[in-house]
Structure 1
Amino acid sequence: MALALYGQRILKRISSLTLAKRHGYIVLVPEIGEDLPEKNPLLQKNGLPEFNNLTIENCMAAIGKQTLEFEAGVREIEDQILQNPVKDIFKNVLNPLENLGAPLDTTWGLSKTLYLGNSTLMPTKSYLSIHDRARRARASKFNSSQIYGAIKDSLNKDNKNEEQTRILKKFELEGKLNGLDINVADKSKLEECLNKLAAEKDRFKTKTEVSTKLFRHQIKDIKVVRDFPVYLLKSMAIDPKHCLDGPWIASLQSHVYLPFMEHCPDRELRWNVWQAMVNRGSTYGNKEYVTSTHLEEIRYLRREQANLLGYKTFADMSMETKMAGSVQNVKNLLLILLQRAMPAQERELLDLHKFATNSGFKGERIELWDVPYWRRKQQISLFDYKEEAIQEYFPLPKVLEGLFSLCERLFKVTIKQRYEVSTWDKDVKFYDVFEPHSSAPVAGFYLDPYTRTDEKSRILQNSGSMVGIQNRSLIADIKPLAALIFNFQPPSSDKPSLLTFKDVNLLFHKFGYALQHLLTRTSYSEVSGLSNIEWDVVEVCGYVLSQWLYNKDVIHSISSHCDSEEKLPADMFDMLVNIRKQTAGLDLCRELYLSALDLELHSTKDFWLDIVRKLWPQYRCFPLDKMDSHPCSFTQIFVEEWAAAYYSHVWARVIAADVYSAFHEVQGDEQQIVDVGKRFRDTFLALGGSCNPGEVFRKFRGRDPSPKALLSSLGLKQAKRAEVK
């Protein structure tokens, strides 16, 4: 009854509004739509979305209504806090917020699914409008000084379990980072700083995108492209329908650049394309698109932001949301890994140069623009690597069957396809996830596997996406719902969809990511699944599942030749294991360098080029090209969300390898493997963001993490001092 009356008060306040103004934006009531909520087809009676009838209009209408309701609900809670002291923070504040946020988050998730799965149903402009509106509305609960004060008061009281404490600390940290602890003058400075920062990031992004698109080198000589795979020729051809005839365009687009560098036999042409890539945003190119001034301004503004919030550097502020805890802990790990990766990098480059020289290479040394090409050639020579031959062993239906069987074996779940479910395309399938304790599904997910050029242009050939449509919430009575969207090649008239090994790896990785969302056991969506997980461990479960691809039994279960139905031969399996180790030191040193560069850029005031010159020889065995200006197009840290967090990719791999080693240590003993699987299910998959990740790891492994397992899996010698704190 209390909740019903509470909801009526909120709706009454909404109905009296002509427009809502808050935090500098205006939302007009007409965006709500006249037919909501009764006629809004976002959800069916079975709780699943009515994708067949979803339109831009009803998504926009739903998000308009739900954001207004949410913001009105936040104001209602603020008024109650002002009128009466909060006796029960969860009953009076957090439970109502949970109920208010559930429909908003679902509509947001559905819109993103359509945006990635069918761009004709959800164009970029429409999705960005929904995304921005939902994000700003959701942020209102973290920008409320009344809610923040009530949260801080409650933290000092007893009678809270671990999950509840993590939720309160999440709100406290969000409030602190939003400036709720600082005085009015500093808040004004912070707001001005963040506005300037957003503008600088936008300029950096725009100029990088333009300079990336501007480079186009036309190739007419068929000798240059004679070894190019068909998919690359199609991507480069001016007329894809006649991709074998040319001409072709070499560009810096991500889906073209790396495969081009791997297959182009013309060294001078490779150098030209590489130079264009690393010179983006530099003063050596078009002055109109120079980004170095924006780079330094972004660094300055982030430093000012951190200082206003009480942190010495932006990197120190970043560590508040990371498992690592401190910049020094990250540097310690990078150093441990570098001690083994650097000597390996030196050996690998010597071996690669020797191989290239024996194959006709005339250069004095292997340069950065040579590595992709000669590494591929070396793979073929050493391992007889033929991607097309391997691909024939991995038909998608068999891979899915083996993947689901592995999850059922390890985590005691059952995955079943449900038919006659509304989807956004005929190829999309829906699966229920069952656990032994319940006859009803505990979660569900959509799988959209195949490329559709006109509809899924935002999912690149070598990438995929996992969208958490709904978080689990016992308070709002909502089950987890996800969508997995890929761009795999569709089946032909005589063959099923065949996956490359990279595709298989991607599928396993994204499914591991999805499992953490689907199998969470938390009560609140605020810490459900991937919510509130520290950034440097958010990819751990994905890496853990993909590690199983180097287990012979798993490869046996997911492989079946498309013609003979034979399993992947032992020599091919060994080849895949060895290829992972081929240039492991070289690849790891690159990631370590970028991680160190990111941290240094956000820890010091030194000029960016001086930082590059200092760090480069510590991590790379190549001379630094005088025109190499790679930080000027380092969008991951200057535009995206990886500032002072790029190291997270390496950190997650370290944790995941250590987790997987627990399975590896008991290989051959099925009962022990099942026991480890249950422990992983009860910790990493169940706890989500409701527990500190260091404690989650200790609950699973019984100790702190170590980089030994990652070094071992890459064929690198183990460090003597290997503990990561």
Structure 2
Amino acid sequence: MTNPLLTDTPLPLFSQIRPEHVEPAIDQLLAEARAVVEQQLKATDRYTWKNLIEPIENIEDKLNKAWSPVSHMNSVVNSDALRAAYNACLPKLSEYATEMGQNEDLFKAYRAIAASDEYPSLDTAQKKIIQNALRDFRLSGIDLVVEKKRRFKEISQELSSLASRFEENVLDATNAWTKLLTDELELTGLPESALAQARQTAEQNGLEGWMITLQFPSYHAVMTYADNRELRREHYEAYTTRASDQGPHAGRWDNSEIMEKILALRHEKARLLGYNHYAELSLATKMAETPDDVMSFLEDLADKSWRQARRDLAELREFARVHYGTADLQPWDIGYYSEKMRQHDYQLSQEEVKAYFPVTKVLPGLFAVVERLYGLTISEIHDFDAWHPDVRFFEITDQNGELRGKFYIDLYARPKKRGGAWMDDCVGRKTIDGAVQTPVAYLTCNFTPPIAREGVSAPTDRESVASIAREGVSALTGPEPVPTGSDPALLTHDEVTTLFHEFGHGLHHMLTKVDHLGVSGINGVEWDAVELPSQFMENWCWEKDALALMSGHYRSGEPLPDALFDKMTAAKNFQAGMQMVRQLEFSLFDFRIHRDYDPDKGGRIYEILNQVREQVAVVQSPAFNRFAHGFSHIFAGGYAAGYYSYKWAEVLSSDAFSLFEEKGIFDPDTGSAFLANILEKGGSEEAMDLFVKFRGRKPTIDALLRHNGIAA
């Protein structure tokens, strides 16, 4: 049997990958990696970049390129068999990583290179890789005695397994809850697009009526538009109790014990390495220097935002009381009355806005923005292997005609696909003997898919775009409506912003000019700076000249009207105070459960969350709310004791964009400077040094507050 994960191809053979391929491939590649390390260590006693680091980098790149499609498919086309194969490999990969991190001979070899005559002649990226490696050896327990090394390895393996189980529970709980409605009156208030999606979901399940789910597009539509308050409450409870001891599936996929174990093991790991708590350990690879620095930053932002958040909520309460007679505003009412208030105060409807953001206009517009910023050309590739019919594939070339990167894009929500939006690494850039390995990214979102009209099957995105390409621009902009059943997916402005955010991550990965994997693209970038390029890209979603490139009515092609743009900008900071303190609530909660962990008291997860809510929240959650049970960013992702990074990176991105505000949003010199100093450098230099090279000074908080309409 030919194993596609062991086939030397430029891109993964997704359609050929089966669960039974996974474990044999990973076993073989791990064995090869161990053999290479052992062989290179024994081959000489005078170690160099060429005879040690480069061979190890190459074999580990081979391992990563096999594991990447497995991990990705586990997130986007999950199945029981694939999940089992994925989970079988996690402890093996964790064991290998810990084993390498605790390899005394390898550590001594790296130290020898750092102290050698060769070291001064290495380039900046190579030196940074070596320094990062020496740091990571220490963070892997290289200095521990044998018994503690063994315990460190056990902890690492168990944490890897627990994180996977946490994510699986959230996915299973999300997929498990549905509600079929047979009376359309129960869905009064929902826009036609949401009703059509609910009807299509029911049909796909062989049922008549309207089916709502916990997939985010469905949940968001109900919470924002449904007049039926009891339906909103029921949907809210189902969503906020996923994978917990509460709600309609209480105890079935309960993450409670997993969360406690994760916090306990992280604390034990930090203590083994000599840190007081996991928050200190987390900062070893971040820009922030001390836990006090992080807490001061978050509390300062909270202090500046809290009063405005209180005013935001007071105004919403008064609006709901005066206009709708609702005196007891509950969490499941916030989104609903906020949308009513937005429409009332600004005459702005999100459904009206969506009509001007068809994906067939937004995606080319996004590409046009980055072309003007960085001189790039983005072209679609139609002949490629994919994991789902909705997936599209593109390549990026620069103004010199050089191929800089390729990316897959998977835009729509569906069952068996993890929620949220993310960018991930498929292939990283490196250069061997003058040949560049082109970086490849996965860009994943969960937008509402194109909706079938009655009697017509909805086209896949690839089919609808191909049709438009064949028929020319008039297919979207001519006087006649697009034929029934072939309307493109329509994005909310928030979804447009999400797409730009993830593409910013993708550009960071793909536009790197660093030739060594350890610090090319997003590799080696301090975690609290990794969101800079992504949040930076969001700014263009609010600029009139940029919006002209990415918007147009999905049927008439009419440009976004000035009046609608003015309403959007007027409403930009609507409830900005409430939004700010909500993100600060997440950040403070994450940091405190890791900083304040006490083995004698356990995680105290909801005790600490309630303390944080008393400190910064203005909307109080009901007792059944189990938000933390679905907080995958910190329990299953890379943001443990690091969720504050979103706000810190927003300081960086706002300050960076302020230079474009001064020079012009498409100023080529400023774009070239951001490309050269941030995007192309990856993790080859300290993030603060790179920011200063671009901005000419260290960041300040002023632009962040101004962009959010918050008084300094």
TM normalised by structure 2 equals: 0.83
Match of 2:294 among 325, 330, 333: 330
Question: Given the alignment of the two structures, is residue 681 of structure 1 paired with residue 644 of structure 2, yes or no?
Answer: no
| Comparing 528-537 and 517-526, the one that deviates more | 528-537
Match of 2:404 among 442, 446, 462: 442
Q: 1:257 to 1:483 in 2, by over 3 A?
A: closer
Question: Given the alignment of the two structures, is residue 481 of structure 1 paired with residue 475 of structure 2, yes or no?
Answer: no
Match of 2:634 among 623, 634, 637: 637
Q: What amino acid is the match of 2:280?
A: D
Distance (whole Å) between structure 2 residues aligned to residue 238 and residue 479 of structure 1? 40
Q: Contact conserved, 2:166 with 2:258, CA < 8 A, in 1? A: yes
Q: 1:666 to 1:597 in 2, by over 3 A?
A: same
**Match for residue 86 of structure 1?**
46
Question: Given the alignment of the two structures, is residue 573 of structure 1 paired with residue 565 of structure 2, yes or no?
Answer: yes
**Match for residue 377 of structure 1?**
340
Match of 1:647 among 634, 644, 647: 644
Q: What amino acid is the match of 2:302?
A: L
Q: Contact conserved, 1:411 with 1:681, CA < 8 A, in 2? A: yes
Question: Given the alignment of the two structures, is residue 299 of structure 1 paired with residue 266 of structure 2, yes or no?
Answer: no
Distance (whole Å) between structure 2 residues aligned to residue 198 and residue 459 of structure 1? 18
Question: Given the alignment of the two structures, is residue 458 of structure 1 paired with residue 417 of structure 2, yes or no?
Answer: yes
Distance (whole Å) between structure 2 residues aligned to residue 436 and residue 284 of structure 1? 56
Distance (whole Å) between structure 1 residues aligned to residue 172 and residue 409 of structure 2? 34
Question: Given the alignment of the two structures, is residue 183 of structure 1 paired with residue 145 of structure 2, yes or no?
Answer: yes
Q: 1:401 to 1:289 in 2, by over 3 A?
A: closer
Distance (whole Å) between structure 2 residues aligned to residue 40 and residue 302 of structure 1? 34
Q: Contact conserved, 2:95 with 2:153, CA < 8 A, in 1? A: no
Q: 1:51 to 1:613 in 2, by over 3 A?
A: closer
SS in 2 for 1:354: helix
Question: Given the alignment of the two structures, is residue 602 of structure 1 paired with residue 594 of structure 2, yes or no?
Answer: yes
Q: 1:222 to 1:41 in 2, by over 3 A?
A: same
**Match for residue 414 of structure 1?**
377
**Match for residue 277 of structure 2?**
313
**Match for residue 697 of structure 1?**
691
Offset of residue 283 of structure 1: 6.8
Cα-to-partner distance string for 1:66-112 (whole Å, 9 max, x where unaligned): 333222112222334xxx43342x12211111222232222333444
Q: Contact conserved, 1:93 with 1:147, CA < 8 A, in 2? A: no
Cα-to-partner distance string for 1:209-233 (whole Å, 9 max, x where unaligned): 6776776667566433112245655
Distance (whole Å) between structure 2 residues aligned to residue 693 and residue 548 of structure 1? 23
| Comparing 220-229 and 590-599, the one that deviates more | 220-229
Q: What amino acid is the match of 2:505?
A: Y
Q: What amino acid is the match of 1:309?
A: L
Q: What amino acid is the match of 2:331?
A: L
Q: Contact conserved, 1:42 with 1:49, CA < 8 A, in 2? A: no
Match of 2:396 among 424, 433, 439: 433
Q: 1:154 to 1:597 in 2, by over 3 A?
A: same
| Comparing 201-210 and 482-491, the one that deviates more | 201-210
Question: Given the alignment of the two structures, is residue 72 of structure 1 paired with residue 35 of structure 2, yes or no?
Answer: yes
Q: 1:131 to 1:503 in 2, by over 3 A?
A: farther
Alignment of 1:482-561 (within 5 A): 482-486=441-445, 488-489=449-450, 490=461, 491=464, 493=483, 497-500=488-491, 501-561=493-553
**Match for residue 264 of structure 1?**
226
Offset of residue 680 of structure 1: 0.5
**Match for residue 664 of structure 2?**
667
Cα-to-partner distance string for 1:693-725 (whole Å, 9 max, x where unaligned): 11111111111122221211111112xxxxxxx
Q: Contact conserved, 1:212 with 1:280, CA < 8 A, in 2? A: yes
Q: 1:187 to 1:527 in 2, by over 3 A?
A: same
SS in 1 for 2:424: strand
**Match for residue 241 of structure 1?**
203
Distance (whole Å) between structure 1 residues aligned to residue 630 and residue 411 of structure 2? 31
**Match for residue 319 of structure 2?**
355
Distance (whole Å) between structure 1 residues aligned to residue 195 and residue 338 of structure 2? 21
Question: Given the alignment of the two structures, is residue 142 of structure 1 paired with residue 80 of structure 2, yes or no?
Answer: no
Offset of residue 65 of structure 1: 3.7
Q: 1:610 to 1:382 in 2, by over 3 A?
A: same
Distance (whole Å) between structure 2 residues aligned to residue 297 and residue 113 of structure 1? 26
TM normalised by structure 1 equals: 0.81
Offset of residue 520 of structure 1: 0.3
Match of 2:707 among 669, 692, 713: 713
Q: Contact conserved, 1:108 with 1:469, CA < 8 A, in 2? A: no
Cα-to-partner distance string for 1:542-599 (whole Å, 9 max, x where unaligned): 2111211111101112223333332111122222323331111101101101211111
SS in 1 for 2:591: helix
Unaligned runs of 5+ in 2: 451-460, 465-481
Distance (whole Å) between structure 1 residues aligned to residue 385 and residue 167 of structure 2? 37
Q: 1:145 to 1:112 in 2, by over 3 A?
A: same
Cα-to-partner distance string for 1:215-268 (whole Å, 9 max, x where unaligned): 666756643311224565567679712999976666655454443222333445
Cα-to-partner distance string for 1:444-498 (whole Å, 9 max, x where unaligned): 23345567x5xx74155xx444332211101373121224345543337465524
Q: Contact conserved, 1:239 with 1:246, CA < 8 A, in 2? A: no
Distance (whole Å) between structure 2 residues aligned to residue 523 and residue 115 of structure 1? 29
Fraction of identical pairs, as percent: 27
| Comparing 518-527 and 136-145, the one that deviates more | 136-145
Q: What amino acid is the match of 1:468?
A: D
Q: 1:318 to 1:557 in 2, by over 3 A?
A: same
Q: 1:518 to 1:205 in 2, by over 3 A?
A: closer
| Comparing 508-517 and 392-401, the one that deviates more | 392-401
Q: 1:676 to 1:227 in 2, by over 3 A?
A: same
Question: Given the alignment of the two structures, is residue 223 of structure 1 paired with residue 180 of structure 2, yes or no?
Answer: no
Offset of residue 532 of structure 1: 1.5
Unaligned runs of 5+ in 1: 1-32, 719-725
Q: 1:347 to 1:149 in 2, by over 3 A?
A: same
Offset of residue 273 of structure 1: 4.5
Distance (whole Å) between structure 1 residues aligned to residue 254 and residue 90 of structure 2? 30
Q: 1:243 to 1:182 in 2, by over 3 A?
A: closer
Distance (whole Å) between structure 2 residues aligned to residue 485 and residue 284 of structure 1? 30
Distance (whole Å) between structure 2 residues aligned to residue 54 and residue 243 of structure 1? 27
SS in 1 for 2:609: helix
Question: Given the alignment of the two structures, is residue 386 of structure 1 paired with residue 378 of structure 2, yes or no?
Answer: no
Q: 1:235 to 1:636 in 2, by over 3 A?
A: farther
SS in 2 for 1:582: coil
Q: What amino acid is the match of 1:558?
A: M
SS in 2 for 1:503: helix
